[in-house]
Chains A and B, each alone.
Chain A
Amino acid sequence: MLVLAMLTIIGAIALACTPSHNQSTFDTLGPVAENQAFIFIVIFWVGAFVFVAVEGALIYAVFKFKRRPGDGDPVQVHGNTRLEIAWTIAPIIILIIAAVPTVQGIFYAAEAPIPPSEGGLEVDAIGHQWWFEFRYPHPDNPGEQIVFANELHIPVGEPVTFNLGSVDVIHSLWVPKLAGKVDMIPNNDNSLWLQADEPGVFFGQCAEFCGVSHANMKFKVVAESRSEFDAWLQSQSQSAFEPAEPLAVQGKELFKSAGCTGCHATKSIMKLSKDGKKLPGRIGPNLTHMASRINLVAMLDNTEIGNAEPNDYMLQRNLKDWISNPEEIKPGNIMSAQAAVYTDPSKALEEHEIDALVAYLLTLK
């Protein structure tokens, strides 16, 4: 009876972890997350067994050994060496068994089956307060990188290694459906590898507390076929579109005169230094092809969930909201604290100027 009731509880627990959610660690779609979920399931059932045994015995004992009127003192038992040795050794054996797949899993997650040294894809991921910068090796020119922000594209079925870094505080790169997290720590070279087994759009989020807008530091992963990925990377390496529409042209002028270019690059290529070192990028996200992204300012969706193409209407609305009042959307962000158009009331953007900027940014496909 009791055991049955407890199994029901455990069943309910299993149901409660609905795997369809965006960041569910059970709905795994890549080998690293799958391995980690497997190890969790192993220890979950071991734990469920211990849970039923201990809690069951406890509830049984409460009913069985409850004091009744007229009871005298029970037998004063001081211990039982054999029993005590048994319940010391049994957990040791269970834990040793559970440790085997765990240690295998630790080493499995440590290095990609095709590491960058053997030609595996390698991406630099850099944490900023509060957005992610991604840099891809230029497919044609090894001395250059292609810079992108808040959205990650990966080819399906290939292990991708990430070099993790940070320019300010500690962040953590996490795509629950693809792999557990690894921290992005300034002055430390960490790496993480993951692989998507199916095409799709996956959710990622910063997992290490990193300040005021930690909650707003998210990104999306678009897994696509190798040919789609190559085409995407090719398009990202192109220069920004030149706007022709008058409002957009006006916006481009404003983009320079209002000081936006101080922090935002509109050239997606970054050269490595002569000795191959990576140079720090600009303070703000690279905007060369920002209108092709489904995720704006690390937190706003430019498309319906699951769609890998931005919806122009949503993008336009998000951009306008963001430029009008960034502090409202992402509290603490550096732009509202430092950009002259937000700190100096005499330079504040007017409605038509915002429209011009939005029109220009929308052309940056």
Chain B
Amino acid sequence: MTTVAFPIPRPKHPTGVWNWITTIDHKKIGVLYGVTAFLLFLTGGLEALLIRIQLASPGHEFVSPEVYNQLFTMHGTTMIFLAIMPLSAAFFNFVVPLQIGARDVAFPRLNAFSYWTFLSGAIILKLSWFLGGATNAGWFGYAPLTSMSQNPGTGIDFWIISLQVLGVASLAASFNFIVTIINMRAPGMSFMRLPLFTWMTFLTAILVVLAFPVITVALIELYFDRAFGMNFFNVINGGNPVLWQHLFWVFGHPEVYILILPAMGIVSDIIPTFSKKPLFGYNAIVLAGAIIAFMGWMVWSHHMFTVGLGPIPVTVFTLTTMAIAVPTGVKIFNWMGTIWGGSMDLRTPMLFALGFIAMFTIGGISGVMHSMASSDAQQQDTYFIVAHIHYVLFGGAIFAILAGIYYWFPKITGRMYNETLGKLNFWVTFIGFNIAFFPQHFLGMDGMPRRIYTYSEGMGWDLWNMVSTIGALILGAGMLLFMHNIVRSWRKGELADGDPWDGRTLEWSIPSPPPEYNFAEIPTVYDRDDWWAKKRGNVKHGVPVSGGSGEEEHSIHMPQPSYWPLVVALGICIIGYGLVYSYTVATVGTIIGVIGVYAWSFEPVNDPEDEDDAAH
């Protein structure tokens, strides 16, 4: 050893809580992401229910307008940054290394760092409810409502800082997955053999890497306006609030695809499995995903059709936005082509995946409606848009995520969920969702603006608002069924074998739950849907490789756990609070973070003592 050994050794086979705190195993980090994000999803859902109760009847005084504005702002921010994104990240973590035949991600400690930083961001955002009030300017934070003169409280500051921290987490994770997918594929796993979920993860990670710097810049400018009296968006000194909108949506629209591409990936894996047919038009679906990811950068101003950009830019963005419907349509048609002529097994994951197609199609159609600027002039900022985003983000992303949770549940936990409860869960969710959100199309076309805390009698909005609220409560009941099923099955579900669905991709070739090292022997891949091909025996080479008996454990080298990712994330969390309250605190956080990075860099690869243990 040439380096000076750092005095603190790596943790050795920790148990209990320490096992989870120091873990750098992608599967455990995936579970941490999933459980944390689901709990945050529940807080966002609770905020949504409070919104719906407030709007149930005209003039209802359930929450004050100040609280209402915080509720819808936090609901949007929570669902996008603390629920859908990290729930997708949970799958990236758990599934991608298994699908490409790897033993872990490229940078396991960075992966742990991503999780702990995400948790820090979540804490900073959600605790702002109890520290003088949460942010209240909408998840889009339009200037000048976010200026110090309009909004002197700390809510906006917490929002800025938490998004920055979450950005760090997302960027670290995305770099990690880009490198993992490029470098750690098993022999023979060429790009055009990648399972669709891995493909969409790859595209999503690229979008994150390109999109988050834009919001980072915008948020820094906003922070400078607020903290140091600068004038990026300060109207009184000539700042232009439209600049914020451009920066926000240049990030914000790719962000929409960051939310939906992983969902499309999940569905693209589930549908072939339960139809017992390969994906129809694999090349077209991959290409369509790439085109969506690329064109996602050319449509941001469709969020700004009423901003007064002038008819020529509006026409350009109308046409690019309409065009993006084409690759989206290709995906839907190819999924239909996959189930056509298949042998469909309507298990819970498949039900949710089919629900995704059905609901996402509706969201796609309404999306085309307001891609057309003339039509959008009436729909922009009304409940029609609220209906649309929920059809794509709940009917789309969340349905796919629920499908994914059920689909990979046996792999993650080694146990089966309860099928009857799962189906009940699907139907209650599906019906509740449609009762909650379909009437919002009517409300929007009937002229009900978004983000109003109340409305008066006589506008004709009473009935559908009440219906929508009832639907939201049914939807809530659906989520309770889901939690009941998951918690109960995790504890005492039937044991699952490695391949309960007659799966097609590599994760089903190993035991459930997978051993720490995933693959006892790194598989060689000869085919798209390699595992299916091997099982059916129509392969050019090779036989199924089993996951191993567990005896191999001592001969496979896995990196040891580490404390430092957590320490660095803790430093970032303290910096975050410092930037809101006191720069002294921020300095302390910086010192902790720097110590963490230093220790991380010089951490021994393996504890020498541990190697001694292995030798015995």
Contacts and interface: CB of A to CB of B under 8 A. Distances in A.
Contacts of B142: 169-170, 208-209
B323 interface: yes
B345 to A, nearest CB: 5
A80 B145 CA distance: 53
B220 interface: no
A contact residues, range: 35 or more
A316 interface: no
Interface in A76-112: 76-80, 83-84, 87-88, 91-92, 95, 98-99, 101-103, 105-110
B330 A99 contact: no
Contacts of A332: 65-66
B325 A95 contact: yes
Contact of A40 (B341, B345, B375): B375
Contact of A22 (B343, B345, B378, B447): B447
Given A22-B459, A183-B306, A206-B449, A212 B358 contact: no
B278 interface: yes
Nearest to A72: B343
Interface in B265-311: 275-278, 280-284, 306-308, 310-311
B606 interface: no
B357 A58 contact: yes
A25 interface: yes
Contacts of B344: 61-62, 65-67
A27 to B, nearest CB: 10
Given A55-B358, A76-B278, A188-B240, A91 B144 contact: no
Nearest to A68: B343
B306 A182 contact: yes
A132 to B, nearest CB: 14
B121 to A, nearest CB: 24
Nearest to A59: B358
Contacts of B284: 79, 84, 88
Contact of A215 (B280, B340, B452): B452
Contacts of A239: none
Nearest to A305: B458
B145 A211 contact: yes
Contacts of B333: 84, 87
Nearest to A205: B449
A106 B452 contact: no
A41 to B, nearest CB: 9
A47 B445 contact: no
Nearest to A66: B344
B323 A95 contact: yes
Most buried by A among B283, B373, B448: B373
A237 interface: no
Contacts of B310: 110
Interface in A98-151: 98-99, 101-103, 105-110
B536 A181 contact: no
Contact of A181 (B277, B339, B377, B451): B377
B496 interface: no
Contact of B278 (A77, A110, A168): A77
A35 B334 CA distance: 35
A225 interface: no
Contact of A169 (B150, B354, B442): B150
Contacts of A108: 374
A215 B374 contact: no
B369 A44 contact: yes
A66 B361 contact: no
Contact of A207 (B145, B358, B449): B449
B277 to A, nearest CB: 5
A65 B340 contact: yes
A168 B150 contact: yes
Interface in B434-467: 439, 441-442, 445-456, 458-461, 464
Nearest to A105: B374
Contacts of B319: 99, 103
A67 B315 contact: no
B332 interface: yes
B382 interface: yes
Interface in A170-203: 170, 172, 174, 176, 179-183, 185-191, 203
A23 B343 contact: no
Given A75-B341, A208-B381, A23 B372 contact: no
Contacts of B276: 67, 73-74
B211 interface: no
A89 to B, nearest CB: 9
A214 B73 CA distance: 14
Contact of B311 (A107, A213, A299): A107
B16 interface: no
Contacts of B458: 22, 305
Given A106-B318, A209-B145, A36 B281 contact: no
A33 B378 contact: yes
Interface string A26-50: 1000000101110110011011001
Contact of A80 (B64, B337, B459): B337
B329 interface: yes
A295 to B, nearest CB: 12
Most buried by A among B144, B314, B372: B372
A17 interface: yes
Contacts of B439: 16
A350 interface: no
B326 A180 contact: no
Nearest to A184: B308
Nearest to A86: B333
A103 B371 CA distance: 11
Given A16-B442, A66-B344, A79-B283, A176 B378 contact: yes
A215 B235 contact: no
B282 A79 contact: yes
B308 to A, nearest CB: 3
A283 interface: no
Contact of B447 (A16, A23, A213): A23
B459 A23 contact: yes
Interface in B140-156: 142, 144-145, 150
Contacts of B339: 58, 61-62, 65
A35 B337 CA distance: 38
A99 B65 contact: no
B343 A73 contact: yes
A83 B333 CA distance: 10
B138 interface: yes
A188 B308 contact: yes
Contacts of B366: 47
Nearest to A330: B65
Contact of A87 (B64, B308, B329): B329
A77 B235 CA distance: 60
B312 to A, nearest CB: 9
Contacts of B50: none
Given A25-B446, A109-B377, A65 B369 contact: no
B375 A43 contact: yes
Given A58-B339, A74-B277, A209-B137, 18 more contacts: A23-B459, A47-B365, A51-B361, A58-B336, A61-B344, A72-B343, A73-B343, A78-B281, A99-B318, A103-B318, A106-B315, A110-B310, A169-B142, A180-B380, A181-B306, A181-B378, A183-B308, A188-B240
19 contacts: A22-B459, A25-B378, A40-B375, A47-B365, A54-B336, A55-B361, A57-B340, A73-B536, A74-B341, A76-B278, A83-B337, A87-B330, A101-B374, A106-B315, A109-B377, A172-B381, A185-B241, A187-B238, A209-B137
Shortest Cβ-Cβ A-B pairs, 7 listed:
A180-B377, A23-B447, A105-B374, A21-B460, A215-B452, A190-B308, A47-B365
Interface of A: 13, 16-18, 20-26, 33, 35-37, 39-40, 43-44, 46-47, 50-51, 54-55, 57-58, 61-62, 65-67, 71-80, 83-84, 87-88, 91-92, 95, 98-99, 101-103, 105-110, 164, 168-170, 172, 174, 176, 179-183, 185-191, 203, 205-215, 299, 305, 331-332
